[in-house]
Structure 1
């Protein structure tokens, strides 16, 4: 094989390798930012912490009707925070908090407040049955997916599927599916 052909083959292999590497790793995402500014479901204190009721009586309730139906337990008038915690960084420095919220209609959602993490390819939000202090590798199984991460910064809300086993939920994770890596985890254990 002539030297010219060898150089041509090496150049083609190098270009293809660089192209595949760029497509997989998307290194520019380390310096890009996507911001969300969705309305939060539950109020926060002046310090930015979510107000989580510690007793059932602390939750807002609708006025009880004066008819015979008053024996039915009162339903919260609006969203109620069930569990909340700050993010712990895993592979990428992350700040902000996550809150599991029971909606007035009986459904559930998870809200992120003040999220700030790296952007990355293939990021998802998972509800996990693992405690937030587990090793990073533990979060790749035993989860319910809430979908793709909407943005790497800001406030955002994720509906929880009706069939999710919330009694097993211990944390929420930002997970990179492509590389099986956790960006961050926050506890969602009820008090």
Structure 2
């Protein structure tokens, strides 16, 4: 026992430096990779968008499919009475992860992850990995160009889930 303390006293700087480096490594992993998000859920329950009390027109509807992580739910693109468009995720259930984004992409729902890195419109951060949520589609975006909605991990350039998107040219 005395030998152990003797070693620690002789190598105190090394022991402290090792402790600092290990602590820094743990902090880095928790902040950058965010592994805790794989076990923590964020539930969002936004009501369907409404404009002047009239129902929205459904321009497209698709089922969420699993990509890199399990996923399910429904996507709908709605045109409100005022002409604005909203992407609605309903009963979404995907694994949580770091820096998840909602994208419209020209690549299909089963395309390679590399194809999702180009020709997309980012609708913003995923509000929650569970529930119902709405994302405004910017004016001027031609929806007939896009073939999928993708839940995209921007940090690791990785598709968590996707859904087909099919909007006719006249509705775009």
TM-score grouping bracket, smaller chain normalisation: 0.7 to 0.9
**What is the DSSP-based 3-state SS (H/G/I as helix, E as strand, rest coil) of the residue aligned with 2:23?**
helix
Secondary structure in 1 matching 2:24: helix
Partner of 1:85: 62
Residue from 12, 16, 20 that aligns with 1:12: 20
Question: Any runs of at least 4 consecutive aligned residues in structure 1 with deviations exceeding 6 A, and if so which?
Answer: none
Residue 61 of structure 1 corresponds to: none
TM-score, length-scaled by structure 1: 0.76
Separation of aligned partners in 2, 1:38 and 1:175: 21
C-alpha contact 2:144 2:166 (8 A) present in aligned 1: no
Once the two structures are superposed, what CA deviation does each residue of 1:58-77 show, in whole Å capped at 9, x if it has no partner?
A: xxxxxxxxxxxxxxxxxxx6
Task: Give structure 2 stretches of 5+ with no counterpart.
Answer: 1-9
In the alignment, the residues of structure 1 paired with residue 83 and residue 25 of structure 2 have an alpha-carbon distance, to the nearest angstrom, of 51
Partner of 2:42: 34
Alignment of 1:152-171 (within 5 A): 152-171=129-148
Is residue 74–residue 90 contact of structure 2 (8 Å, CA) maintained in 1?
A: yes
The 5-angstrom pairing of residues 38-187 of structure 1 reads 38-41=46-49, 78-187=55-164
Could you list the runs of 5+ residues in structure 1 that have no partner in the other structure? 43-76
The answer (yes or no) to whether the contact 1:113–1:155 under 8 Å persists in 2 is yes
State whether residues 109 and 147 of structure 2, in contact with CA within 8 Å, keep that contact through their aligned partners in structure 1.
yes
In the other structure, the counterpart of 2:3 is none
Higher strand share: 2
- The TM-score normalised by the length of structure 2 is 0.83
Q: SS at 2:81's partner residue? A: coil
